[in-house]
Amino acid sequence: MSAVAPSRSLLRPPDVRLRSAFRLWQRNATIYRRTYKMNLLPNFFEPFLYLLAMGLGLGAYLSQVEGIRYIDFIAPGLVATAAMFGTSYDVTFNAFVKLRFGKVYDAVMATPLTPEDIALGELLWGTTRAFIYGVVFLIIASFFGVVHSWLALLAPLAIALVGMMFSVIGLAFTAVVPLIDYFTYYWTLFITPMFLFSGIFFPLDRLPDWVQSVAWFIPLHQAVNLMRALVLHGDPGAAAAAAAWIVVLTAALGVLPLNLLRRRMIR
Amino acid sequence: MSTLPGAPVVAARGLVKRYGTFEAVRGIDLDVPAGRCFGFLGPNGAGKTTTMRMIATSAPPSEGELTVLGLPVERGREIRSRMGVVPQENNLDEEITVIQNLVVYARYFDIPPSVAQPRGEELLEFVALGDKRERMPEELSGGMKRRLLIARALMSDPEVLVLDEPTTGLDPQARHLVWEKLRELKRRGVTLLLTTHYMEEASQLCDRLVIMHEGRILVEGSPRELVAREVPPQVVEVLEPQDHEREHLAALEGVADHVEHLSDRVLLYGNDGEALLGKVRGIVADQGSVWLRGSGLEDVFLSLTGRRLIE
């Protein structure tokens, strides 16, 4: 049996096993459980503060956007944002620390797990965190009377989908950056602009056509559309279109963080 | 599935590892027998750690054949499920307690907590950390961390334990405690593979060893065999001789089998140490800088490379 260096192609079928990936998810959950009270509490305050300041404070001056209460307009987008933030910190800074400084992945690599298992485990864990953040936000927001459709019952599923998409994007970035300082670019050039220009705080349809064409390609914009269709408009067609966009992107990029992490760790 | 009795735990033929144009390992052959302690001895950069990484399936070979536990090295998952790895650098999970480190690690091997918990307690006792189970890793000393890493590697009850410089950076007491535990594991039938640049560690633990230098294996054998085969049995060492004394010592070549000149000392090898010592004492003024000792692995390495192991 002759040893030949295996393919480093990013399109190679990943050597992944769901049960092994779940082991890494369990490791993260074990640590989260130790500190969840401390971690979870800010998750309750943040939505309160946003809805209070933007929805009620700013909303008092705006009264209505597209014939809708301002707080009703922004709440679904903030749920999508909560999901995005819920995973993004974890799959960028936290994952990088485990990769480079804590050497947690090095230790795991001495067990039957593969780099692909580790990556999938992180994606599932990021999705879990997005789910917790997003659902908590939605529950708090519902007390402000912002839920207007029974389709909102599908929102937890949509939140998980959004969480998976941002986990895939974030972890792919983490697997290629050489230094932790690069994450500043991820946040200031990707996350923050998306947060401001995805139609959360103002509708994009009064803006020039080209802005709307560009917006179609922005992941958070699609996530906002999805959430608004479910929670506010009760529009299954719009929800399906946005969900399909997210599924296609996530599926298309899904293998990337797995193979990028292999390329980084197996040398 | 188990290896055939007598079959080597590791077998390598023409093994090469390249990083870009740099050849870290330049074609080595190996047969590591089961149930023994096999050592890789050599200075930093000799290719020991790279060889271990290939055996531990985390660095795919660039060329050659490598089987571990009878499996081709491409079958990493299966190999790793039967192997324990003790890394050179501490990579304990700093966010969880000592016992949780063991239970979480065992889960990667699909060992449920109900089994892992008692096994973890038992292994903590074995490495003399029984009273530290609820501590965080950062509260442990260097020697304790190393012992915890050994306990962690044993959670999956491995057939082979791979240790990369297991006692580097430990004080002598901590080092002896680690050696004691490793000898006990060997008695229990675990195959040990270790890298080291300590001659004493190699002679204390290893049944067989290879000495590596610049990516190649220079010699292989038991520590005793190597010393008997490669160098005369006795050495007179002269520490920091004067320049004129060096010249006279150099002239003893012929009386001594071999004279080795190092920057800070001169070594004179021979079969009759006492006779050699007498001659040297006649040359060197500072008698306190001269002594006679038996030769060891360091001398084997020196005679093969003209360099010392730790520089």
Contacts of A35 (CB under 8 A, 6+ apart): none
pLDDT in tens, A175-233: 999 999 999 999 999 999 999 889 998 998 888 888 888 999 999 999 999 999 999 99
- Both structure tokens of B262: 């190092």
Output the pLDDT for position A4: 45
User: How far is the CA of B271 from the CAs of A117, B199, B293, in angstroms?
Assistant: 59, 22, 12
Between CA B32 and CA B7 the distance in angstroms is 9
CB contact under 8 A, B110 and A23: yes
Residue A106 with chain B: CB contacts under 8 Å: 87, 89, 91
Is the pLDDT reported for residue A47 higher than 80?
A: no
Whether A42 shows a pLDDT value over 90: the answer reads no
**From the candidates B18, B54, B66, B93, which should be mutated to test the interface with A, based on the most A CB atoms within 10 A?**
B93
pLDDT band with cut points at 50, 70 and 90 for residue A34: confident
Residue A2 has pLDDT above 80, yes or no: no
The token pair that represents B57 in the structure block: 């399936």
Measured in angstroms, the CA of A18 and the nearest CA of chain B are apart by 12
Q: Which of A97, A111, A262, A267 to mutate to test the interface with B (most CBs of B within 10 A)?
A: A111
Q: Residue B248 corresponds to which tokens in the numbers above?
A: 């006279």
Comparing B169 with B28, the larger pLDDT belongs to: B28
CB proximity list for A79: less than 8 A, separation 6 or greater: A134, A137, A138, A141, A155, A159, A227, A231
What is the residue whose two structure tokens read 């150099």? Answer: B250
In what helix (H) or strand (E) does residue B36 lie, and over which residues does it extend?
none
β-strands B71-72, B63-68: how paired? antiparallel
To the nearest whole Å, the CA of A24 is away from the closest chain B CA by 8
Which tokens sit at A138? Answer: 């939605």
- pLDDT for A206: 82
What is the pLDDT averaged over residues B36-45? 91
Chain B residue closest in CA terms to A98:
B93
Reported as a pLDDT band with limits 50, 70 and 90, residue A1 is very low
| Helix/strand/coil for B86 | strand
Place B304 in a pLDDT band, splitting at 50, 70 and 90.
confident
Question: pLDDT-based confidence at A41, cuts 50/70/90?
Answer: confident
| B177 pLDDT more than 80 | yes
ipTM of this complex prediction, to 2 decimal places: 0.89
Gap between the Cα atoms of B96 and A102, Å rounded: 12
A and B: number of Cβ contacts within 8 A: 93
Q: Torsion-angle region of residue B128: left (phi > 0), alpha (psi -120 to 50) or beta?
A: left
The residue-averaged pLDDT of B60-67 equals 96
pLDDT recorded at residue B43: 85
pLDDT value, residue B5: 58
Q: Under an 8 A CB cutoff, do B87 and A19 touch?
A: no
Terminal alpha carbon distance of chain B: 44
Q: What is the pLDDT of residues A94-126, one digit of tens each?
A: 999 999 988 899 999 999 999 999 999 999 999
Mean pLDDT of B15-36: 95
Contact assignment for A113 to B108 by CB distance below 8 Å: yes
Residue A67 clears pLDDT 70, i.e. is over it? yes
Instruction: Give the pLDDT score at A255.
Output: 94
Residue % of chain B over a pLDDT of 90: 77
Residues in chain B with CB shorter than 8 Å from the CB of A107 are 87, 91-93, 105, 152
- Give the pLDDT band (50/70/90) at residue A38: confident
Q: Which chain B residues have a beta carbon less than 8 Å from that of A17?
A: 77
Q: Does the CB of A38 have a partner CB in chain B at under 8 Å?
A: no
Q: Quick check: A160 pLDDT over 50? A: yes
CB contact under 8 A, B80 and A110: yes
> What was the pLDDT predicted at A13?
87
Expressed in angstroms, the distance from the first to the final Cα of chain A is 20
Residue A50's pLDDT is what? 83
Q: How far away is chain B from the Cα of A96, in angstroms, using its nearest Cα?
A: 14
Contact B76 A110 (CB under 8 A): no
Residue with tokens 């007498």: B278
Q: Is A100 on the interface with B (CB under 8 A)?
A: no
Q: Does A26 touch chain B (CB under 8 A)?
A: yes
Q: Please name the residue of chain A whose CA is at the shortest distance from the CA of residue B19.
A: A267
| Under 8 Å between Cβ of B155 and B108 | no
pLDDT of residue B1 exceeding 70, the answer is no
Q: Please say whether the beta carbons of B25 and B14 come within 8 A.
A: no
pLDDT for res B4: 54
| 3-class secondary-structure state, position A103 | coil
pLDDT in tens, B114-159: 999 999 999 999 999 999 999 999 999 999 999 999 999 999 999 9
CA B224 – CA B227 distance, rounded (Å): 5
DSSP string, A120-189: HHHHHHHHHHHHHHHHHHHHHHHTTT----GGGGGHHHHHHHHHHHHHHHHHHHHHH-SSGGGHHHHIII
Contacts 24+ apart (CB under 8 A), B110-116: B110/A19, B110/A23, B110/A112, B111/B155, B111/B156, B116/B155
> pLDDT value at position A55?
81
Record: contact B92-A107, CB cut-off 8 A: yes
Both tokens of B20, joined, read: 């870009």
How far apart are the CA of B143 and the nearest CA of chain A, in angstroms?
Answer: 18
Q: ∠ CA B26-B32-B36 to the nearest 5 degrees?
A: 140
Bridge-based pairing state of the strands A68-69 and B37-41: unpaired
CB atoms within 10 A of CB A254: 18
HSE-CB at B137 with a 13 A cutoff on CA atoms is 17
> Taking 70 as the threshold, does the pLDDT of residue B79 lie above it?
yes
Give the full edge-to-edge strand order of the sheet including B22-32: B22-32, B10-19, B63-68, B71-72
The whole-number pLDDT of residue B199 equals 85
Contacts of A102 in chain B (CB under 8 A): 91, 93-94
A110 touches chain B (CB under 8 A): yes
pLDDT, one tens digit per residue, over B244-255 is: 999 999 988 888
Residue A3 has pLDDT above 50, yes or no: no
Average pLDDT value over all residues in chain B: 92
By Cβ distance, the residue of B61, B66, B109 closest to A112 is B109
**Which of the residues B28, B77, B103 would you substitute to probe the A interface, choosing the one with the greatest number of A C-beta atoms within 10 Å?**
B77
Contacting A with CB below 8 Å, chain B residues are: 15, 19, 56, 58-67, 72-74, 76-78, 80-81, 83-85, 87, 89-96, 100, 104-105, 107-110, 152-153, 156
- What percent of chain A lies above the pLDDT cut of 90? 72
For chain B, the helix, strand and coil percentages under 3-state DSSP, each to the nearest 5:
40, 25, 35
**Which band of pLDDT confidence, cut at 50, 70 and 90, is reported for residue B311?**
low
User: Cα distance from A13 to chain B (closest Cα, Å)?
Assistant: 15
Entry pTM: 0.90
Rounded to whole angstroms, how far apart are CA atoms A143 and B247?
94
What value does the mean pLDDT of chain A take?
Answer: 91
